[in-house]
Amino acid sequence: MAVAFRGGRGGVGSGQSTGLRSFFSYRIFISALFSFLFLATFSVVLNSSRHQPPQDHTLPSMGNAYMQRTFLALQSDPLKTRLDLIHKQATDHLTLVNAYAAYARKLKLDASKQLKLFEDLAINFSDLQSKPGLKSSVSDNGNALEEDTFRVLEKEVKDKVKTARMMIVESKESYDTQLKIQKLKDTIFAVQEQLTKAKKNGAVASLISAKSVPKSLHCLAMRLVGERISNPEKYKDASPDPAAEDPTLYHYAIFSDNVIAVSVVVRSVVMNAEEPWKHVFHVVTDRMNLAAMKVWFKMRPLDRGAHIEIKSVEDFKFLNSSYAPVLRQLESAKLQKFYFENQAENATKDSHNLKFKNPKYLSMLNHLRFYLPEMYPKLNKILFLDDDVVVQKDVTGLWKINLDGKVNGAVETCFGSFHRYGQYLNFTHPLIKESFNPNACAWAFGMNIFDLNAWRREKCTDQYHYWQNLNEDRTLWKLGTLPPGLITFYSKTKSLDKSWHVLGLGYNPGVSMDEIRNAAVIHYNGNMKPWLDIAMNQYKSLWTKYVDNEMEFVQMCNFGL
């Protein structure tokens, strides 16, 4: 029994003791491990805090952000956050008030009540910002702001903010409208500047296009001269035609260096004449184009018995510099400088005066119209035609009009205050002011019936010479032939019915087609000549139908008509 008991106790006790020892050993091990980790961590923290450089305990560090923010919040002034907010509001509204004050100045409202209020408010905000309490507290220098001081400051700032907001709401709509108006004005001004510049550039380009010789015209002249050189015997000058001095016939004067233009004028007259064999054309050109002009009318003689006489300016020997003021002035060094120096440089600066710098305005070919009685001494009447006209009807009725002793029969161009003497002559000059009426109605060159006997009686050429000599320095009028024509034939011009001569087809797209159909003569005065690419399409066909397209050189030179 004793052995059995001892053995039984020893077996059970031995198992329990082993389990308890194992359990307590595991707990001791875990506790020791955690103790070690805690000590190690504490040691690391202690060492890092010892070696960390001293710093302001109120500033946050990167390692312990949460704890340090908490410490900062506990140690800071509780009014500072609200103070920062008030400072920001004051600053923002100061900027806004200054902006509206600037708008008011821009809109020229300097004397307005609103501008003064905005400026005063801006000064108040600036004073608030410069107060010692606000300035020192916002600068984070550690000084705490007293509760009472803060409340006074807060109330003052809020009152100013409220006032600023009320003023802005009240004036915003008005200012926005004014700003839109000002912006629109600025835009309009900018567009007007661009338009003015574009008009100047367009005027210069138009003048260049109008005054330069197109390739087709140059080609035609060269072909005609080449034909003359190739066949000299064929184009010998014929004996003078007695019809050229017969005063009982209908005589026309055409002065031009443009072969195709002259051919259209002559052809249109002949095709619409009832008795073409009674019509005589006196064509005068310059020496350079004389051969080409003669060859054209040799190759394409006039139909139905009409007569033509072709001469050059040089054939009229009386036209020299000692007699004609224009020729003398052309020899002047001063005038040559005006015409030929710095034209390219000044082209875009003064497009209006550029057109007067074209030498054609002072060329002898352009001024021949003032010497008609001396050029054709045996004639009584002559019809002067520009080379940019088209005759649409029989015009012999012009010779039957009673001019009442006047020299010139022409269509008047004035309407309202436009196209009167005051627009063509310099009435600030005492001679002009004393001699002419600025409201006198102007008339048109281009289709004029001249009574040469009355011209000789009135000594109109002498009058022309007198005034042309006085205008050598261009103080009486600019240039051209219309101003001296208005002077020469002042009170000596008979007004004709407007249906005889309709103008504007070279610049005015609004000429009525009814007027054009009823007109005896239509005139392409202006830069858009019908033989140029810039011609107005709606009028071009009225000219091209009289072009002799069967002429071989017209086809070869590609006129594109």
Q: Structure tokens of 501? A: 């001569």
Three-state secondary structure call for residue 344 = helix
pLDDT tens digits, 123-134: 766 665 566 555
- Where are any strands of DSSP class E within 346-496? 381-385, 389-391, 408-410, 447-451, 493-495
Neighbour order of strands in the sheet with 250-255: 307-312, 279-285, 250-255, 381-385, 447-451, 408-410, 493-495
Q: Per-residue pLDDT for the chain (561 aa), expressed as one digit of tens each?
A: 444 444 444 444 445 555 555 655 666 777 777 676 767 676 665 665 554 445 444 444 444 555 555 445 445 555 667 667 767 777 777 777 677 666 666 655 544 555 566 666 667 666 655 665 555 554 444 445 566 666 777 777 777 777 777 776 766 666 666 667 778 888 898 999 999 888 888 777 777 776 777 889 999 999 999 999 999 999 998 899 999 999 999 999 999 999 999 999 999 999 999 999 999 999 999 999 999 999 999 999 999 899 999 999 999 999 998 999 988 887 776 666 666 565 544 544 554 455 555 556 667 899 999 999 999 999 999 999 999 999 999 999 999 999 999 999 999 999 988 999 999 999 999 999 999 999 999 999 999 999 999 999 999 999 999 999 999 888 999 878 999 999 999 999 999 999 999 999 999 999 999 999 999 999 999 889 999 988 999 999 999 999 999 999 998 998 765
Q: What is the per-residue pLDDT for 405?
A: 96
d(CA 408, CA 370): 11
H or E segment to which residue 266 belongs: helix 259-272
Q: What is the per-residue pLDDT for 32?
A: 72
The verdict on pTM exceeding 0.75 is no
Sequence-ordered list of residues with C-beta below 8 angstroms from that of 165, at least 6 positions apart, any chain:
93
H-state helical runs in 273-332: 287-299, 325-330
Q: How many residues does the chain have?
A: 561
- Do residues 75 and 58 lie in contact, with contact meaning Cβ atoms separated by under 8 Å? yes
- Do residues 542 and 390 lie in contact, with contact meaning Cβ atoms separated by under 8 Å? yes
